[in-house]
């Protein structure tokens, strides 16, 4: 049940960030899917091995440690990705706002067609 909640939350998060201009590339999807496959591909076999052969407890502990290191590395990568893309999205929106302000100031600098000049 928790996995369904997690999938729903992930979809909400992806939609939220895509609206902010922080869209995921194909490489981002490959890294995320590879991360999940790696964790399941190492943790599940180690847990099954330990369940069937308790003398291999050290294999389970080593796998959990390695998976923990990989998870921390992935979280650091995600934070760096978020910082980089958030800065790019903010710069793009600031540039768009600045471009809009320049266009409106250029329009206000031009004389209007209905000026009241003497002699007309």
Q: So what's the pLDDT on residue 17?
A: 76
- State pLDDT tens for residues 70-86: 999 999 988 998 898 88
Q: What is the pLDDT of residue 103?
A: 57
Q: Residue 105: is its pLDDT beyond 70?
A: no
Length of the chain: 120
pLDDT digits (tens, 9 = 90+) for 16-54: 877 877 777 788 888 888 888 999 999 999 999 999 999
Angle value at C-alpha 88, between 90 and 16, nearest 5 degrees: 70
Contacts (Cβ under 8 Å, ≥6 apart) of 17: 23, 24, 85
Q: Indicate the pTM of the whole model.
A: 0.64
Contact of 15 with 8, CB cutoff 8 Å: no
pLDDT computed for residue 100 by the predictor: 63
Mean of pLDDT over the chain: 81
CA gap 52, 68 in Å, rounded: 23
pLDDT at 108: 55
Beta strands in the chain (DSSP E): none
Please tell me the predicted confidence (pLDDT) of residue 110.
56
Rg (CA), the chain: 27
Exposure pattern of 43-72 as b/e (b: 16+ CB <10 Å)?
eeebeeebeeeeeeeeebeebeeebeeeee
Domain residue extents for the chain: 25-86
pLDDT value at residue 59:
95
- Check residue 27 and give its pLDDT: 83
Sign of the CA dihedral with 91 first, then 92, 98, and 101 last: negative
């Amino acid at each position: 049940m928790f996995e369904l909640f997690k999938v729903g939350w992930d979809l909400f998060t992806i939609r939220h960030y895509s609206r902010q201009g922080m869209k995921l590339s194909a490489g981002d999807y490959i890294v995320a899917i590879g991360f999940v496959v790696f964790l399941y591909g190492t943790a599940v076999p180690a847990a099954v091995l330990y369940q069937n052969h308790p003398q291999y407890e050290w294999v389970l502990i080593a796998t959990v440690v390695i998976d923990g290191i990989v998870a921390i590395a992935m979280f650091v990568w995600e934070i760096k990705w978020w910082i980089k893309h958030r800065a790019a999205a903010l710069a793009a929106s600031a540039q768009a706002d600045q471009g809009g302000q320049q266009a409106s100031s250029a329009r206000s600098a031009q004389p209007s067609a209905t000026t009241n000049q003497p002699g007309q």
